[in-house]
Amino acid sequence: MNGNNGNSSSSNNDGKDSSRIIRIGGASGFWGDSSVGAPQLVASGHIDYLVFDYLAELTMSILAGARLKKPELGYATDFVSVAMKAVLKDVVAQGIRVVSNAGGVNPQGCADALAALAAEQGVALKIAVVSGDDVSALLPQLRQQQPPVRELQSGAALPERVLTANAYLGARPIQAALDAGAQVVITGRCVDSAVTLGVLMHEFGWQPGDFDLLAAGSLAGHIIECGCQATGGLHTDWDTVPDWPNIGYPIVECGADGSFVVTKPANTGGKLTPAVVAEQMLYEIGDPAAYLLPDVVADFTQVRIEQAGAHRVRVHGARGRAPTASYKVSATYVEGFKTAAQLTLVGFDAVAKARRTGEAILARTGTLFAQQGFGPYSGTQLEVLGAESCYGPHAQTQVQHTREAVLRLAVTHPRKEALALFAREVAPAGTSWAPGTTGAGGGRASVSPSIRQYAFLLDKSRVQPSVHLGAERIEVPGTEAPPTAAAPCIAAAPSIAATPAEAPQGDAAPRATDTVEVPLLRLAWARSGDKGDTSNIGVIARHPALLPLLRAQLTEARVAGWLAHLVRGPVTRHEVPGIDAFNFVCEQALGGGGMASLRNDPLGKGMGQILLAMPVRVSPALLGLIAPHGPSGLHGPLS
């Protein structure tokens, strides 16, 4: 594969051997991932680099709060106190280099803590710090600028009380730090895949204009950025994935041409097949033809994924083009307060008892609010867990008669004291109303600020990434290939996108006598995730011959109709022919998304499962291409 600037992939600017393979282990998918990842990968003896991804929007807010209480904090402490403490000596002994975005809102504080650990263990360590992502100082100017700043999804104005504002930096500063000789690179906010792309740009001398190579390196980073999601975690056919307790963390073996093999340490659990990797490729990418990153606009539509041996999957075919002129900035702000409480209801009619209990609590507290002048709730969410609340009208009838259900109430209000009153009024249900009320567990629900995300665009010229290696400031070269002028950093939904209001509820295919009705699960794999208030659902055909059938029946209108109880905005379908797949982007789908949502599933993790329950019609001949497996008989074979 050649970059768009015409450079051959058989050589690079540093004169390094382009036949080399660089092995990168992904040790963490989020702050809170298992402590086994880093030791497992280092002990394997088969990695050159160890990369960690820790940051989500909510994480940034938590870290900002920690820094307010103790100025030396504000970073992902587990990176130092757990991961690096366990492997630091081995990492140095083996010559493994480390890149991590554990710096959060205090990258220098993270570096200082790691330096202290290295001194304690008697290890000499060159630590580089990447900063410049914090754009909070620009907010006063941004409030005055014309045209005004607008939130990417809602169009709302910039809030007054902003907690954090961080630009998603790219891989160039990481490359500069490694070029300067850093053994460990600690960054603040950057795109998740940049920790891997920066490594590959350093090792292979890739330049800003090598768009195909940058897209390929970004894809490698995207595959491993969520840890075990690349090795069987969250796989649709979960019952075929062996040895969950010992599941292997991912390794990408990357070549100078941008192709790579996804694998894992020997003698670990999990599995690697094209289906597993394809699910992760589609995870949270929006438009697969225009995955917008700071270094490149990536096109994954023609990517090929092939089995290359036991637990080895080869990936190639990513393409890229010039990036946009803007960074995406993720800001967080406080809007009122929130809390959530749970009760368990046991016995006959548990679901009905749970619903009536929840309604009674909301009615009683609403009256008390009025009496005390608090005003009404700003938001409420009543769910009965165990009764398929998230399936809406598609919930199975029999679960309504379960004899155990969990009532979950989540609420928001502008005033903290109102929610403190709500929290007090949950426990009385245990003696006042339904028999079999129990399981409040954990005591009274706590009240916390309701932290929301606000994403906007910022011209790259206004952001200055910086790199320090000890006391030395490292030059970060500019982008040699000019970005495109005004391309948006989120893909606009085409006019054909269906909205729930327009969506027909019936079957899109005729009920021919020579077809049978099966759940989509029989014909496809799926995985879902979030971007703000948008849900991303990737759907992959279990056999290429099924693709025309799925194209006809998984229309935007029908998917919008099936998910109408959850999705308020348009649904857009993107085709990914390279892997026989579709990516559905569902807007206004998560009740505000992430920190703002009151749902039990604020990140849309279950939406792919809900879509897999949608009935589709298929001929017995096509169905025969997929051999059932497992106790349910619903799943098909892996590629």
The pLDDT, as a whole number, for residue 56 is: 81
Confidence of residue 250 (pLDDT cuts 50, 70, 90): very high
Q: How far is CA 488 from CA 222, 283, 330, in A?
A: 21, 21, 15
Dihedral sign computed on CA atoms, order 287, 211, 458, 71: positive
What is the model's pTM? 0.91
Q: Which of 461-470, 486-495, 609-618 has the lowest mean pLDDT?
A: 486-495
The pLDDT, as a whole number, for residue 443 is: 82
Q: Which fold has domain 330-452?
A: Alpha-Beta Plaits (3.30.70)
Q: Give buried/exposed letters for 378-405 (b at 16+ CB in 10 A, else e).
A: bbbbbbbebbbbbbeeebeeeeeebeeb
The pLDDT, as a whole number, for residue 496 is: 39
What residue segments make up the domains of the chain, in order of their start?
Answer: 22-133+168-231+248-268+288-323, 330-452, 516-623
Asked if residue 13 has pLDDT above 70, the reply is no
* Sequence-ordered list of residues with C-beta below 8 angstroms from that of 40, at least 6 positions apart, any chain: 248, 249, 265, 268
85-106 mean pLDDT: 97
161-187 mean pLDDT: 96
Percent of the chain with pLDDT over 90: 82
Are 273 and 248 in contact by the 8 Å Cβ rule? The answer is no
The pLDDT, as a whole number, for residue 477 is: 86
Asked if residue 637 has pLDDT above 70, the reply is no
The pLDDT, as a whole number, for residue 68 is: 80
The pLDDT, as a whole number, for residue 3 is: 35
Asked if residue 486 has pLDDT above 90, the reply is no
The pLDDT, as a whole number, for residue 581 is: 98
Distance CA 417, CA 429 (A): 20
Confidence of residue 510 (pLDDT cuts 50, 70, 90): very low
The pLDDT, as a whole number, for residue 64 is: 83
The pLDDT, as a whole number, for residue 554 is: 98
The pLDDT, as a whole number, for residue 360 is: 98
Q: What is the mean pLDDT of the chain?
A: 91
285-300 mean pLDDT: 98
Percent of the chain with pLDDT over 70: 90
Give pLDDT tens digits for 313-355.
Answer: 999 999 999 999 999 999 989 999 999 999 999 999 999 999 9
The pLDDT, as a whole number, for residue 630 is: 44
Identify which has the larger pLDDT, 220 or 532. Answer: 220
**Which amino acid appears at position 134 of this protein?**
D
Q: 451 - beta bridge partners?
A: 334
Most confident of 61-65, 583-587, 589-593: 583-587
Instruction: Give the DSSP per-residue string, 293-351.
Output: -SS-EEE-TT-EEEE-STT-EEEE--EEEPPPSEEEEEEEEEEEEEEEEEEEEESTTHH
Are 409 and 358 in contact by the 8 Å Cβ rule? The answer is yes
The secondary structure of 87-139, three-state, reads: HHHHHHHHCCEEEECCCCCCHHHHHHHHHHHHHHHCCCCCEEEEECCECHHHH
The pLDDT, as a whole number, for residue 492 is: 33
The pLDDT, as a whole number, for residue 482 is: 52
Confidence of residue 9 (pLDDT cuts 50, 70, 90): very low
482-499 mean pLDDT: 42
Asked if residue 593 has pLDDT above 50, the reply is yes
Q: Which of 1-5, 113-117, 424-428 has the lowest mean pLDDT?
A: 1-5
The pLDDT, as a whole number, for residue 517 is: 97
Identify which has the larger pLDDT, 632 or 347. Answer: 347
The CB density around residue 139, as the number of other CB atoms within 10 Å, is 16
182-191 mean pLDDT: 98
Give pLDDT tens digits for 31-41.
Answer: 999 999 999 99
